Amino acid sequence: MSTEEQRLAPLREKIDALDAEILNLLTQRAKAAQEVGHVKGGFSSPVFRPERERQVVARLQEINTGPLLADGIAAIWREVMSACRALEARQTIAYLGPAGTFSEQAAQTYFGHSIVGLPCASLDEVFKSVEKGAAQFGVVPVENSSEGAISRTLDLLLDSSMRISGEVVLPIRHHLLTKTGNLDGVTTVCAHAQALAQCQQWLSVHAPHLKRQAVSSNAEAARLAASDPTLVAIAGDPAQEAYGLQAVAAQIQDDPHNRTRFVVVGAYECQPTGKDQTSLVLSVDNQPGAVHRLLAPLAKHGVSMNRFESRPARKGTWEYHFYIDIAGHADDAKVVKALEELKETAAFYKNLGSYPHSA
């Protein structure tokens, strides 16, 4: 045995013993979750409780003395709770497919890996799957830090009866991918239109000779590039892994901090956690100062606005819907007051849901 092995052996023995203890404790935790599941079953109440999961992680992060980092605690318990939740009832989660999309990654980041994934062909289908009960929740992109709002998602949120019950923000890193890891014989770069836009400067400088072709998703681009040697795909880590591709160039997005925010939609109404966000859709009559008057109650009651987005109301007139995210839960005292007053001035008011804020 080498000196290194001699020193590692007792440490590994210690890790093996600790893992056995952890497994024993996890088994007890899983049995407690099963019992919780039986109680909920008796009341026909939902299995997934995002507020409770938030509370579990926040408490552990607070009592954590290190060296594990807060992010590590969150990642470990996300999977622990995902596995426990699956013992109560494995949740089906709809997202924009095929396999290997950032939407799939967002679903796994939010719900953990012990879920049944339901990849859908379009954002519309994600909403429909949840509405008709084929999935308990859907995960849809709502805005990108470089390209702005995902307008189809905004329209679907407006028209659907689904509630927002969570959000997740992912760093979006695009790579240039082929089967071989080089560009020999490649004539065309294909990706979702959003990804082509997010990498356009890089492409103009480093690959100006390649034709650009928009396809339905980056994962679809990766799938095509895996079998067609004339194609190079722009896609992220999940698609690279799913389709066994190699990087010609990594992280080619023009903005190194490129991020996408996804929301979780379903029938569930979240309870307050003390660190929530509420999403609203509003409109006002087309009069001078109307938007200012509309938002005045927020300032009056000290409710901060995290996001303001406008979208044409699609009525053929110059009218807009405003998508507004405010800090706090709709049941928080000052939010209740602000929203009561805000409703009085709004020509249209829709509360999309209150949910634990990710930031």
Q: How far is the CB of 86 from ligand PRE (least distance, A)?
A: 9
Listed ranges 46-54, 103-111, 242-250, 275-283: which one lies at the site for ligand PRE (CB under 6 A): 46-54
| Residue of 260, 273, 278, 322 marked catalytic | 260
- One DSSP character per residue, 296-352 reads HHHHHTTPPEEEEEEEE-SSSSS-EEEEEEEES-TTSHHHHHHHHHHHHH-SEEEEE
Neighbours of 42 (CB within 10 A): 8
User: Does 111 participate in binding ligand PRE (rule CB under 6 A)?
Assistant: no
Active site (annotated) includes residue 260: yes
Q: How far is the CB of 238 from ligand PRE (least distance, A)?
A: 24
User: Does 73 participate in binding ligand PRE (rule CB under 6 A)?
Assistant: no
Q: Single out the residue of 36, 58, 89, 267 in contact with ligand PRE (rule: CB under 6 A).
A: 36
Strands 175-178 and 211-214: unpaired
User: Does 231 participate in binding ligand PRE (rule CB under 6 A)?
Assistant: no
User: Does 95 participate in binding ligand PRE (rule CB under 6 A)?
Assistant: no
Active site (annotated) includes residue 262: yes
Region of residue 50 (left: phi > 0; alpha: psi -120 to 50; beta: else)? alpha
Listed ranges 81-89, 119-127, 160-168, 251-259: which one lies at the site for ligand PRE (CB under 6 A): 81-89
Beta carbon nearer to ligand PRE, 46 or 229 = 46
User: Does 51 participate in binding ligand PRE (rule CB under 6 A)?
Assistant: no
User: Does 48 participate in binding ligand PRE (rule CB under 6 A)?
Assistant: yes
If 0-12 CB within 10 Å is exposed, 13-18 middle and 19+ buried, where does residue 334 land?
A: middle
Spatial distance between the Cα atoms of 310 and 299, rounded to a whole number of angstroms: 19
CA-CA distances (angstroms) from residue 21 to 14, 17, 60, 186? Answer: 11, 6, 18, 54
User: Does 156 participate in binding ligand PRE (rule CB under 6 A)?
Assistant: no
Phi, psi torsion values for 242, nearest 5 degrees: -60, -35
Beta carbon nearer to ligand PRE, 33 or 242 = 33
- What lies within 8 Å, CB to CB, of 176 at 6+ separation is 189, 207, 232, 233, 234, 247, 248, 249, 250, 252
User: Does 88 participate in binding ligand PRE (rule CB under 6 A)?
Assistant: yes
User: Does 89 participate in binding ligand PRE (rule CB under 6 A)?
Assistant: no
> Footprint of ligand PRE on this chain (CB under 6 A)?
33, 36, 48-49, 52-53, 56, 81, 84-85, 88
Which residues are annotated as catalytic? 260, 262
